[in-house]
Structures are given as C-alpha cells and as structure tokens.
Structure 1
C-alpha cells in the first residue's frame, strides 16, 4: 500500500527527527573521544595512555566518517541541480562501513549523477545495513542510463530481513503509526525516491534483502 499521501509529516517535524538521527549516530564516537581524553588527563599509566590514544584516534575517524556520510545522505550538498561523483559516494560509504559489521561491494560506473540520486542511494545503503544486523555483505549497483538510473541494494547475511521501520514507513505514514527518529530515515528515503519520480520497493529475494528504486512507466503509481 502506498501511504505517501495518507498522513504527511510536516517539514519541521521531519527536520527535527532527521537531526535526532544524525546526533544519535555521532554521540557514541564523540563520547568515546571524551572518555579517552579524560584518561589522558587523569591516568599516568603509559599503557592506559596508549590505549586512550588508540580509542581517540579510532573514534575520531568514526565520527568524521559518519558526518561525511550524513552530509551527502541527508544534507544539501551543492546547488539544486548539482551532480555528484559516484566515486565520492563510494568513498563515504566505505568510510562508514569501516566501523560496521557488513562489507561493501560497489558496482556502479565512475561517473557523475544527480545529487538527489546519490542521496537516495546512500539512504538505501543505510536500510540495507539495517537489514543484516549480524553482519554480511551490502552490494550496491547503479544500472541503466545515468539520467534515469535503477538503484539497487542487495544485503546478504545471517538472519537478513526487511527492517520493521522500512516495512512500515518506506511507502509513507498511515494515521495510526507514530514516526520516531529511527523510522524517519526510511520515511525520508521514500520521500526522496518519490520526489525523483521513482518507484521504491523493499523485499526478500530468497534469503537476501533487496531494496530497489527505478522509474516506472508514465501514468503508473509509485
């Protein structure tokens, strides 16, 4: 069921929820940096100081990777008609995945593409990661004409499944469903897809999870 027009979320509410999502993602590594700095300031044990520096370095890299990813995934990089390099999208996705259990496989041309397609692709990667909480592989593909691409994420791993929030909110929000910061991301993903005129679908393909966005024939529903 397409619920995209059933109960729209206000722009202010959605912005607040997405900000909460970004803050949630960055709080953990930033907190680890603070803990490491406290150890450096209060502990004279050389081994503890070395461990603290390792923690700070690793956490700073994670925080930077998450922020760089969020900038392209949720932000407004470039002008309204800007194009972004798919290799840049690959780089920020690889940076994000370094701190995750899943491995990334990238099958997309070395080319520029409309920035909102990049935004959609990165959001689909987040959903693909959520589909395999125990780890596995997230395979990314961009096919067809770059002016009207087909974007596909295929996630394989133990206990792969359609994330609950994706099942409930990718197509929009019904009046009886409460949208929180966790659910806002798949809801936002659906909004981006529909704004581009793409149909987006999340499904199981055997034991693999697949989320795909593609253009539909003129006059067909999204």
Structure 2
C-alpha cells in the first residue's frame, strides 16, 4: 500500500456523517417498527413488547449520538478542553449496548479535545477487535497535556480487522468509504495531536497504543 493521501475536508465530513448515520439507522428503525406495532396491534402483550422495544432502542440511539458528538463532533472551539469524566459517561453508555465490557482506569482530568476524541476512537477500534465480546481496558500514562494511551481488547478469538494495522500506520486503505473512514479519522486525530499509533495482537489480546511522537 502507498502512503495515505490527504482527504479533503468535505469528503471527510461526508464520510464521517455517513458513518454516524449508519450507526443509528438500526435503533431508529426499531423505534419505527415498535410504533407501527402500537398502531396495528390490540394485544396487550404485543403492546408491552413494542413499548420495551421503543424504550431500549431510544436509549441505544441516544447513547450512540452522544458518543458520536464527542468522538466526531467539534466539541467546542479550537483549543477547547473536555472533562474525561464526560468522556467516561458517553463511552460507558455506548458500550452498554455492545458485547464487551468497558474497564475505564483513567482519573478525571480536563484534557485537550483532540486527545479525548482520539481516545474515544481507539475504544471504537478496540470494540471491533473482539466481535464475540470481552473486556476493553482503557489506561493512560503521563500528563493530561501530553498523555500516552493504552487500550487492551481481550476476549475469545480477538482479531485485528483487515487493513486496520496498515491504515493506523499511515498506509493507503484499499477503499476509502464510510466503513474505513473511522480508522482514517483516528489516524488524522493522532497526527494532529503529534501522536503515533500502534496495534498488535497475541492469542487473547489486541493492544492499541497512542504515544507522543
């Protein structure tokens, strides 16, 4: 693969927006299905089932949107800082709907927004590495102004998704689309933050690190 080429800001924005829409289509569609059942069914059991589906799907959609707002959104003006406690809340809410458990070991600090966005995107990548579920351990060393992040994904048959290692190292992916944009976005965040990324695997764990250049 060749070196990753620059992506225009318009293309990047369009691809990230497509990724976010893809993530929330399923729970929003489930809400619509639940409302249709309420309109059509007279059975009390079916109405209760529909209400449970709507409640669960609404929570899931809200959690995904709150996570995306912090992980992909502007999150304030240039130079803004984000409370790691807020990041933990949205990460925990997001992971409640996933197969893996989140083990967040970071103390509460204010941190430059791009570091926080980078960390949340590393959690997304780690979650892809344990499709059968497991534990995602999140740790940090160093000063909040110059941190090093370690994210470990442990579970049954962990894997590094095809092309992920190459993309995070800066190589051009085979395709640039809504599926591949998230690791590309993560790489761009790392570059903007003067961080280098690495991802490696042993039998039971995928280890993802972000450290100062």
- The aligned counterpart of 1:194 is 191
8 Å contact kept, 2:158–2:203? no
Q: Cα deviations across residues 51-108 of structure 1 (Å, max 9, x unaligned)?
A: 0000000000000000000000000011111111111111001100111100000010
- For 1:141, what is the secondary structure of its paired residue? strand
Is 1:141 the equivalent of 2:130? no
Out of 97, 108, 111, the residue aligned to residue 109 of structure 2 is 111
Aligned mates of 1:58, 1:23 — CA distance in 2: 18
Is 1:179 the equivalent of 2:176? yes
Tell me how large the CA RMSD over aligned residues is: 1.5
Aligned mates of 1:206, 1:213 — CA distance in 2: 21
Question: What are the residue-to-residue correspondences of 1:65-84 with 2, within 5 Å?
Answer: 65-84=63-82
Deviation at 1:172, TM superposition (A): 3.0
Aligned mates of 2:162, 2:24 — CA distance in 1: 23
Q: Which runs of 5+ in 1 are unaligned?
A: 217-222
**Structure 1: 4+ residue segments shifted above 4 A:** none
Q: Which runs of 5+ in 2 are unaligned?
A: none
* TM-score (structure 1 length as normaliser): 0.92
8 Å contact kept, 2:129–2:159? yes
Aligned mates of 1:43, 1:73 — CA distance in 2: 39
Out of 203, 213, 216, the residue aligned to residue 210 of structure 2 is 213
